[in-house]
Amino acid sequence: MPTTYYTEEEYNFMAFLTKAFWERCHQGYETQPNKDYYPCIPMSLEIVSQQIKFVKKYILDTTKDYIYDKTFLDVGCGLGHILLAAGVVQFQTFGIEVNPKALPVWARTKIDFSKLEKGFDFRNYSREVFFLGDALDFPLYSKFDVIYFYIPIQNNKLMLKLSDKIIHDMKEGSILIANGYYHDQMEKYHLKELANHIYQKPKEEGK
């Protein structure tokens, strides 16, 4: 992935946000009711911002679509700092979180997805939607253009089950940012590797 250079102001802002989220985690938000799942572990915004900018450029270079029409889902979003980075480049941002104490106060919409109506329509929401519930039960992975995770489950068998479900359900042409997963772990899925930890689900031949 090409190196992205930041101004001193951008770098300091990302460092400030990462530090702030870490502090929130250590003020009680790290409490995780489901012991199979990791507590709040913020990923470096500098790294993720590079990945998101790469994905944005890839979409713009390979399609005629507008970024603000594209949906971005963070699986295990915690306090939502990854969604802030995705929102900056105009993705419609959505998060899944099992821990109700972790959801940020700035979330515009919080939805218990176990109570979702069958006709749930993304077009009713512009950004900053948080789904509360277990990612293993989430029924809408096929609706998203970009899916992000950073190993939200510490139980290896359950994490494998989750990655299997996400990749099976995600739509053709959608992009997965799988931080914490290595190349040899992803080979079995036969995805197109766009960059380190960034993959695209290929379209079936003939479509």
Q: Which domains does the chain have, with CATH numbers?
A: 8-200 (3.40.50)
Q: Kindly report the average pLDDT of the chain as a whole number.
A: 81
CA distance 62 to 182: 25
pLDDT in tens, the chain (207 residues): 444 445 566 656 666 666 666 565 555 455 666 778 877 766 777 788 899 999 999 999 999 888 888 999 999 988 788 888 888 888 988 999 888 877 665 567 788 887 776 667 766 766 678 898 999 999 999 999 999 999 999 899 999 999 999 999 999 999 999 998 877 778 889 999 999 999 999 987 655
**E strands in the chain:** 71-75, 92-97, 109-112, 129-132, 146-150, 175-179, 192-195, 198-200
CA distance 50 to 65: 20
CA distance 6 to 14: 10
Angle at 139 between CA 138 and CA 143, to 5 degrees: 110
Length of the chain in residues, anyone? Answer: 207
Q: What pLDDT digit, counting tens, does each position of 84-109 carry?
A: 888 888 898 899 988 887 766 556 77
CA distance 112 to 76: 14
